[in-house]
């Protein structure tokens, strides 16, 4: 039995949300080619060769098998990650997405150097474990498995904010996720039921085969586009 259409699916529906995709034209083009969009971020990459990585790759393949898969720009498997704290990007040079004490026209690589210097004194909180809580048309929503895990993830974000020098408006409500792809066009109404069935099936399979998503330690990364996130500084969580 197919469940009701989820709010996350309706976000990608041509009928329910006809506005153009937010990052189309800056992050990627209509052909699904990723564009240069330099920036930095703190992410946890998937553990290469792990059971959960294999399960996630299999879930990603179910997306690629959908008839409408060509309407999405898919990131490489090697780039799959969970963002822990958002850095800065070239096309978002405005408060509160930029540190107030650094000029808005500072080059991206210089910004990465500034953050790397500031992060030398960063004291990582403890380790945490995450699970998949939802599968959406663009990937996985994840969160800490236990209340303690969720608190520690919040501690990481709260400790990063003064180091980076800003707090995004969604700092306290940010939904952790693993992005598979970005939409180049909205889904037609006729495809929604099939997509809901695929999403529900992928979630059930992942919950069974990968109850814990194995992540590498958080790392400060720089990037030129969404194809690769270069680890510049890896944080060893406190025991």
2 has pLDDT over 90? no
86: helix, strand or coil? strand
CATH of residue 75's domain is 3.90.1140.10
Task: For residue 127, give Cα distances in angstroms to 1, 133, 140, 178.
Answer: 38, 19, 21, 18
pLDDT tens-digit series, residues 65-81? 999 999 999 999 999 99
Kindly state the percentage of the chain with pLDDT values over 70: 98
pLDDT tens-digit series, residues 41-52? 999 999 999 999
Segments of the chain assigned E as strands: 39-45, 72-74, 81-89, 130-136, 139-144, 177-179, 181-183, 219-223, 230-234
pLDDT (0 to 100) of residue 236: 86
With respect to residue 61, please indicate whether it lies within any of the assigned structural domains. yes
Domain encompassing residue 44: 32-233
Among 86, 108, 93, residue whose Cα is nearest residue 39:
108
pLDDT tens-digit series, residues 139-194? 999 999 999 999 999 999 999 999 999 999 999 999 999 999 999 999 999 999 99
pLDDT tens-digit series, residues 114-125? 999 999 999 999
Cis previous bond, 167, omega within 30: no
With respect to residue 10, please indicate whether it lies within any of the assigned structural domains. no
With respect to residue 24, please indicate whether it lies within any of the assigned structural domains. no
Segments of 48-121 assigned E as strands: 72-74, 81-89
With respect to residue 225, please indicate whether it lies within any of the assigned structural domains. yes
The number of folded domains in the chain is: 1
């Amino acid at each position: 039995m197919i469940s009701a259409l989820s709010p996350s699916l309706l976000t990608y529906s041509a009928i329910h949300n006809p506005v153009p995709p937010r990052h189309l034209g800056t992050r990627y083009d209509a052909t699904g080619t990723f564009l240069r969009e330099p920036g930095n971020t703190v992410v946890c990459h998937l553990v290469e060769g792990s059971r959960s990585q294999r399960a996630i790759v299999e879930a990603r393949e179910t997306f690629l098998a959908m008839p409408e898969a060509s309407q999405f720009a898919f990131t490489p498997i090697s780039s799959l990650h969970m963002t822990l704290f958002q850095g800065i990007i070239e096309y978002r040079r405005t408060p509160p997405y930029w540190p107030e004490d650094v000029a808005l026209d500072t080059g991206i690589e210089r910004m990465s150097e500034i953050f790397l210097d500031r992060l030398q004194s960063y004291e990582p909180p403890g380790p945490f474990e995450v699970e998949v809580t939802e599968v959406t048309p663009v990937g996985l929503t994840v969160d800490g498995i236990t209340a303690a895990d969720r608190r520690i993830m919040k501690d990481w974000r709260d400790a990063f904010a003064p180091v980076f020098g800003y707090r995004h408006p969604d700092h306290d409500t940010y939904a952790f996720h693993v992005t598979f792809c970005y939409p180049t066009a909205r889904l037609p109404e006729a495809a929604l039921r099939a997509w809901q069935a695929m999403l529900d099936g992928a979630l059930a399979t992942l919950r069974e085969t990968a109850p814990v998503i194995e992540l590498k330690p958080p790392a400060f990364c720089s990037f030129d586009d969404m194809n690769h996130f270069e680890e510049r500084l890896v944080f060893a969580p406190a025991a």
